[in-house]
Structure 1
Amino acid sequence: METAMTPRTAMESALKDAITQHLRPKGFTGSLPHLRRRSDAQVCLISFQFFSAGGSFAVEVAECGPNGFNTSWGKHIPPQKMTAQDVPAPRPRLGSGDFPNGDHWFAFGPRNYEPDAEKLRAHQDYEALADDVLRLIESQAEPFWEQQLLART
């Protein structure tokens, strides 16, 4: 029996399509919610965080050196396992008007406890939000990763 589409699964589907079509060709690996792009100089990280009550998500970006990351308690996280959430700071959220400061959540529907919480929007609405994320990766994340690399070298 097939599970009915929910606003969250519709949003995840649009994000997965965007990842496949636009981020994979740019070298990103991993799967939703954690993506990474490795180079000889750094690992660029993207993590999607869905709000527990539904209806929105945040996109955090971070970076680390090419060999991974050592936590403050001494655990080594290899580059192929790194997530943005492993990096304590800086870890800005895409979409903030004050990027790399501030906070931003991408809204795709009402909270689970609000009326019409399970009502689907048009597929194009989810695609448009995924396109917004892609634009912000270009305009905010890419310059951030470059700046972090320059600061570390």
Structure 2
Amino acid sequence: MQKVRTQLKEHLVPELRNLGFKGSFPHFRRIREQRIHLLTFQFDKYGTGRFVIELAVAPRGPFTTSWGKEIAEGKLTVHDLNERQRLGAIEGGDQWFSIEPHISETVDEILELLQTKGQKFLDSKN
């Protein structure tokens, strides 16, 4: 599992930063004028090295969760919101990613999905 995290930090996180995301692994946010785009990595609980990427959108400023907890926008994560989208998910299933066999192919796939379907989801919430 540590290998996966290390590879993602080395190869994917710099690309996320180029797209304007800030934060620390596994939680990232991109501040827009009126919204915050959130992105997080969630790993397979069985330690297979597979992971999903979830996206969410929140309004700027302090956010109050559905259970009444107020969270500053700089601390907000995807997990704090009820409405989220798994990057690359198809109807009726999930999109699990793996760094095997080649991390560069996985990074390319993730970036393509983020800039197309992911961006469409993020924009639809603005």
Q: Same fold (TM over 0.5)?
A: yes
TM-aligned CA deviation for residue 50 of structure 1:
0.6
Aligned residue identity for 1:142: Q
**What are the ranges of 5 or more consecutive residues in structure 1 without an aligned counterpart?**
1-7, 110-120
Residue pair 1:43, 1:63 contacting (<8 A) in 2 also: yes
* Aligned sequence identity (%): 34
SS at match of 2:40: strand
1:69 corresponds to: 63
Q: Relative to total residues, which structure has the larger strand share, 1 or 2?
A: 2
Give runs of aligned pairs for residues 30-69 of structure 1, distance below 5 A.
30-55=23-48, 56-69=50-63
TM-aligned CA deviation for residue 144 of structure 1:
0.7
Mapped to 2, the partners of 1:59 and 1:141 lie a distance apart of 10
Mapped to 1, the partners of 2:12 and 2:52 lie a distance apart of 16
Give runs of aligned pairs for residues 81-100 of structure 1, distance below 5 A.
81-89=75-83, 91-98=84-91
Mapped to 1, the partners of 2:29 and 2:19 lie a distance apart of 10
Q: Relative to total residues, which structure has the larger helix share, 1 or 2?
A: 1
SS at match of 1:130: helix
Residue pair 2:51, 2:98 contacting (<8 A) in 1 also: yes
Residue pair 2:85, 2:121 contacting (<8 A) in 1 also: no
2:103 corresponds to: 126
RMSD of aligned Cα (Å)? 1.8
Structure 1 residues 12 and 131, CA gap change in structure 2 (3 angstroms): farther
Alignment partner of 2:98 out of 107, 124, 132: 107
Q: Which entry has the higher C-alpha Rg, 1 or 2?
A: 1
TM-aligned CA deviation for residue 108 of structure 1:
4.2
Residue pair 1:62, 1:92 contacting (<8 A) in 2 also: yes
Mapped to 2, the partners of 1:46 and 1:27 lie a distance apart of 11
Mapped to 2, the partners of 1:44 and 1:102 lie a distance apart of 23
CA deviation digits over 1:23-61, x for unaligned, max 9? 212221111111100122100001100111122111110
Aligned residues: 124
